[in-house]
């Protein structure tokens, strides 16, 4: 079934249910209305958790296309009436997804126009190894600072949390993306593109670079066109250089374009997203999470060890992963079949003191910040960056970096179910 047809069906379903739910007794018999709603809910209850999340997202997108007012509010309540919003949705993610604050167009560049995924020819200027970013938010530049110039990357603490809504925080995330893209490009610039990446079996450095570049083009397209329906990154043109050795420059050019569009966008701009937060801010956090993990991949491939990850950035990337997990079918389905209802897994970052507590049940899992006053079935402790790479299976749980408590099988089951 095409994406357009799915969206049209979700629109029709949302309108029907909202109309039934809000109809006056004189227009629709109350018993009939209840019968219709219960029948629809019963039918949809047979969907898998992953499919219910997809339905939830589609219906919410349908609601967002409506102007603010009672009708949109009624449409936003539809997933709850139909049972599409299930108990396995992480509470922070659910709150972010339902906080549809007014967005304006004033933050979009007037002359930007619809963006495409095409890339301008990259300038073959290598970033210096010691250089950090000199960022101009207005121009969306991705340049290097002169040697010896210190540029402080904004502390990730200013954008920690699931929903980044302030403009300053949004720009801070973009700055952090730019800094790490430069580090990645510098690392792979003279490396053999055919170098295998052990932490991404079957991938080379060229594949890793192409993947990051595709995400930049995808982001530029979604934000630039204000996409309201699903867009697959693989369906967009890449305009790759013929020589994989030139991928580093291509990556930097694409990042510059994507970040320019992101910085010009109101972080609260409603757009389609593959996760729980259908706003422009989602994509800045997604790009940061991706480049942080894949920079570690490149470091492990070329040097055998990953550099320490900024702890606050790592914590935010962990939250991003946990928030997205229920929306990724190949994660949501295995997690739904773990058969560990009531089990509690606790992740503790020893360097920041952050705690994330996961509770399994209801066909999935929920998570909270802190310990929630519950006793953990299993726990794992390490620095935040190490926990992030554990969640992404870049480190094995048996690594000496990690301290375990309780039922180790629960952690192993979780890692197996969430392997990307």
What pLDDT, on a 0 to 100 scale, did the predictor assign at position 261? 97
323-369, pLDDT tens digit by residue?
999 999 999 999 999 999 999 999 999 999 999 999 999 899 999 99
SS3 content of the chain, % helix, strand, coil (to 5): 50, 10, 40
- pLDDT computed for residue 116 by the predictor: 34
Cβ contact 210:240 at 8 Å: yes
pLDDT of residue 418: 93
Residue 317: its pLDDT value, please? 96
* Mean pLDDT by groups of 10 residues along the chain of 420 residues: 63 76 71 70 64 64 68 71 44 29 27 34 48 35 34 35 64 94 96 97 97 97 96 91 93 96 96 94 97 98 95 96 93 94 97 97 94 95 98 96 97 93
d(Cα 307, Cα 332) in Å, to the nearest integer?
31
Q: How far apart are CA 261 and CA 107, in angstroms?
A: 10
**Is residue 31 exposed (0-12), middle (13-18) or buried (19+ Cβ within 10 Å)?**
exposed
What pLDDT is attached to residue 53? Answer: 53
Residues counted in the chain: 420
User: What are the φ and ψ backbone dihedral angles of 102, each rounded to 5 degrees?
Assistant: -60, 135
What pLDDT is recorded for position 65? Answer: 63
C-alpha count within 13 angstroms, C-beta hemisphere, residue 204? 9
Q: What's the CA gap between 337 and 82, in Å, rounded?
A: 22
- Phi/psi zone of residue 90: left (φ > 0), alpha (ψ -120 to 50 degrees), beta? beta
Please state whether beta strands 378-382 and 344-349 pair in parallel, antiparallel, or not at all (unpaired).
parallel
pTM of the model: 0.68
pLDDT of residue 75: 74
Residue-wise over 333-365: b if at least 16 C-beta within 10 A, else e? bbbbebebeebbbbbbbebbebbbbbbbeebbb
In DSSP notation, 198-259 reads TTSTT-BHHHHHHHHHHHHHHHHHHHHHT--S---GGGS-----SSGGGHHHHHHHHHHHHH
Tokens describing residue 161: 């949390």
């Amino acid at each position: 079934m095409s994406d357009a047809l799915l969206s049209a069906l979700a629109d029709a379903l949302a309108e029907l249910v909202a109309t039934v739910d809000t109809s006056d007794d004189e227009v629709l018999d109350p018993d009939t209305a209840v019968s219709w709603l219960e029948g629809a809910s019963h039918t949809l209850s047979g969907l898998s958790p992953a499919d219910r999340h997809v339905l939830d997202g589609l219906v919410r997108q349908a609601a967002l296309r409506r102007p603010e007012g009672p009708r949109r509010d009624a449409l936003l309540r539809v997933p709850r009436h139909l049972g599409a919003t299930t108990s396995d949705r992480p509470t922070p993610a659910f709150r972010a997804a339902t906080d549809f604050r007014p967005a304006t167009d004033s933050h979009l560049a007037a002359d930007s126009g619809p963006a495409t995924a095409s890339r301008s020819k990259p300038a073959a200027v290598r970033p210096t190894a010691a250089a950090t970013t000199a960022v101009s938010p207005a121009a969306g530049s991705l340049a290097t600072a002169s040697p010896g110039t210190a540029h402080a990357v904004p502390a990730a603490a200013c954008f920690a949390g699931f929903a980044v809504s302030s403009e300053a925080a949004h720009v801070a995330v973009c700055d952090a993306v730019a800094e790490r893209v430069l580090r990645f490009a510098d690392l792979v610039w003279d490396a053999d593109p055919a170098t295998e990446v052990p932490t991404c079996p079957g991938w080379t450095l060229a594949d890793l670079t192409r993947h990051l570049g595709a995400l930049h083009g995808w982001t530029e397209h979604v934000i630039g066109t204000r996409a309201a329906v699903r867009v697959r990154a693989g369906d967009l043109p890449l305009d790759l250089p013929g020589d994989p050795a030139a991928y580093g420059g291509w990556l930097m050019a694409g990042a510059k374009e994507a970040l320019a569009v992101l910085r010009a966008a109101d972080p609260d701009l409603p757009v389609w997203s593959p996760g729980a937060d259908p706003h422009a801010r989602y994509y800045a956090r997604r790009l940061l999470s991706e480049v942080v993990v894949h920079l570690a991949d490149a470091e492990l491939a070329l040097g055998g060890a990953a550099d320490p990850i900024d702890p606050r950035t790592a914590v935010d990337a962990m939250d991003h992963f946990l928030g997205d997990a229920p929306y990724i079918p190949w994660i949501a389905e295995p997690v739904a079949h773990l058969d560990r209802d009531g089990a509690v897994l606790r992740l503790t970052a020893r360097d920041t003191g952050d705690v994330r507590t996961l509770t399994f049940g209801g066909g999935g899992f929920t998570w909270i910040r802190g310990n929630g006053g519950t006793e953990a079935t299993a726990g794992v402790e390490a620095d935040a960056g190490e926990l992030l790479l554990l969640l992404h299976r870049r480190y094995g749980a048996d690594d000496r970096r990690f301290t375990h408590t309780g039922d180790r099988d629960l952690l192993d089951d979780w890692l197996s179910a969430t392997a990307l």
